[in-house]
């Protein structure tokens, strides 16, 4: 009798712990967008892209429903993930140069998502400032269908981080004011 009560209590405790702690969903390593790289190749200047700072510095995860959290890979912060992505694309386009005349810095003002069915999205607000004293603010929203089931929706959010950052970079490059930074 006592053994059954203890076993039941342990079982309930393990289930509660699983429900409360949830899982962590890690995004994959960034993969460059060939479309973004081709657009960057049309720039007339090379760029030194410096560090991205953030309104919430060092943020490495965002809670997703009651299922866990979404994180960039390798314990990176969101600003580090975006910075690495931008530099990767600039390098592939042969437009990155640490000694370039123009230096651009970024400030991640907002990163957030919604995992709701039918309206799932990643959203970013990134301010870019140039050494030529010009700056722009880019608001980017990457939409996709999402899922009703919590664990599946959160896994999809993690999978969508790379295409969402590719979309952010496209929004930066396609912004008519971007070239004023050069």
Instruction: Pick out the chain residues at pLDDT < 50.
Output: 3, 5-7, 9-21
Q: What is the pLDDT of residue 149?
A: 82
Pairing of strands 47-54, 102-114: parallel
Q: What is the pLDDT of residue 151?
A: 87
Q: What is the pLDDT of residue 76?
A: 97
Q: Please identify which residue in the block is written with the tokens 């950052």.
A: 165
Structural domains for the chain: 23-181 (3.40.50)
Report the C-alpha gap between 153 and 173 in whole angstroms.
Answer: 29
87: its two tokens: 């530099």
Buried b (16+ CB within 10 A) or exposed e, 121-142: bbbbbbbbbbeeebebebebbb
Q: What is the pLDDT of residue 163?
A: 97
What global pTM score does this model have? 0.86
DSSP symbol at 43: -
Q: What is the pLDDT of residue 147?
A: 83
Report the C-alpha gap between 27 and 78 in whole angstroms.
Answer: 11
pLDDT in tens, 18-62: 344 457 899 999 999 999 999 999 999 999 999 999 999 999 999
Q: What is the pLDDT of residue 27?
A: 95
70: its two tokens: 């979404």
């Amino acid at each position: 009798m006592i053994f059954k009560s203890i076993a039941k209590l342990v079982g309930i405790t393990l289930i509660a712990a699983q429900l409360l702690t949830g899982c962590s969903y890690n995004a994959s390593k960034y993969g460059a967008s060939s479309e973004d790289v081709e657009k960057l190749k049309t720039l007339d200047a090379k760029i030194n892209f410096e560090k991205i700072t953030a309104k919430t510095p060092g943020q490495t995860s965002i809670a997703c429903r009651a299922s866990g959290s979404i994180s960039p890979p390798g314990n990176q912060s969101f600003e580090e993930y975006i910075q690495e992505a931008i530099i990767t694309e600039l390098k592939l386009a042969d437009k990155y140069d640490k000694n370039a005349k123009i230096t651009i810095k970024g400030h991640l003002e907002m990163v957030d998502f919604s995992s709701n069915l039918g309206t799932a999205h990643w959203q970013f607000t990134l301010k870019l400032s140039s050494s030529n004293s010009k700056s722009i603010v880019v608001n980017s929203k990457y939409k996709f269908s999402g899922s009703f089931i919590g664990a599946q929706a959160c896994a999809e959010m993690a999978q969508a981080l790379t295409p969402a950052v590719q979309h952010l970079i496209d929004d930066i490059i396609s912004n008519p004011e971007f070239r004023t930074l050069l």
